[in-house]
Structure 1
Amino acid sequence: MRRKLRVAAYAMCIRDEKILLARWLDDEGRPEWTLPGGGMEHGEHPYDTVLREVEEETGYLVEITGLLGVDSISRTFTRGFGRRTDHHGVRLVYEARVIAGELRPEIGGSTDLAAWHPLTEVPALNRVGLVDVGLRLWQERPVTGRVTAPADE
């Protein structure tokens, strides 16, 4: 089985009781909302990754105001030709605030829309689990930088 490690950085941008999210299409073509951010380039620092990714996906320039935590996930995927991959994702979640720019969708990238959503409406959105992880990190601010139990436990 092929093993793959992916390190990525994401931003929790909240203002006026709204969260900034980006929309991408999953493997089946279904749209899902996620935190703006993405994978690190070789040699890139995660801090620079999150700044670059937020601008690419939303049009905004952000200022990082803190590191909320780190999330780690492991999943097994079956890809083309039935090849199985053991995927390990390490996701750094930063708190950020918008300092400049205009909201716009990403052009030719992995997302197709960016939007502010009221925090009260997030549970009804079709979203990836990272959104819930980010919200818990933002709300709880665990000293370990880690949330371990599901939000409903």
Structure 2
Amino acid sequence: MRKTLRVAAYAVVVRDGQILLARSPADGGGHEWVLPGGGMEHGEDPYDTVRRELMEETGYRIDVTGLLGIDSVRHTFPNRRRRRPVDHQGLRLVYEGLVTGGELRPETNGSTDLAAWHDLGAVSGLRKVRMVDVGLELWLERPATGRAAKAAGEG
């Protein structure tokens, strides 16, 4: 079985009771909301990754104000080209960010097509990926372990 690892960095950016999210095409059609962020490039520091990804996906420059935690997921996916499944692990570093400049705009020719602020109270009703809930839990709870218990199925 082929094994893959993807390391990514995301930011929880909250301002005036709203969280900044990006919209991405969903499997099966439609769209879903995601935390702004994405995969590290080889040799890139995760701190630089999250700042670059935020700029690309939202148009904002941010200061990283803290490391909220780390989320790790593992899935097995079929690989239709090679007829062998892929054992994939995703390691996601979650930072807190503060907007310091730029203007809200959608990403051009990227993995997302819209960026928007959402009321924190309305997030539960959005079509979103699990990572949004993980990020919000880390931001709200700030666990000493840096691990979101509820999102990991522990709470």
Q: Is it true that 1:94 corresponds to 2:95 in the alignment?
A: yes
Counterpart position of 1:17:
17
Any idea what the Cα deviations from partners look like across 1:104-151, whole Å, max 9, x if unmatched? Answer: 000000001100000010000000000000011001101111123347
Which residue is 1:84 aligned to?
Answer: 85
Count of aligned residue pairs for this structure pair? 153
Compute the displacement of 1:27 (Å): 3.0
Deviates more, 1:35-44 or 1:24-33: 24-33
Change (3 A) 1:85 1:26: farther
How far does residue 56 in structure 1 lie from its aligned partner after superposition? 0.1
TM-score where L is the length of structure 1: 0.95
Shift of residue 29, structure 1, vs aligned partner: 2.9
Deviation string 1:11-65 (CA, Å, 9 cap, x unpaired) is 0000010000001113323311010000000000000000000000000000010
Letter in 1 for 2:19: I
Distance in 2, matches of 1:100 and 1:79, equals: 42
2:146 is matched with which residue? 145
What CA distance in whole angstroms lies between the structure 2 residues aligned with 1:66 and 1:35?
A: 16
By how many angstroms is 1:2 displaced? Answer: 1.4
Alignment correspondent of 1:73: 73
Structure 2 length as normaliser, TM-score? 0.93
User: Aligned Cα RMSD in Å?
Assistant: 1.5
Matches within 5 A, 1:100-115: 100-115=101-116
Gaps of 5+ in 1: none
Partner of 1:133: 134
The DSSP-based 3-state class of the residue aligned with 1:139 is helix
Moved more, 73-82 or 104-113: 73-82
Percent identity reads 61
For 2:84 and 2:127, the matched residues in 1 are separated by 28
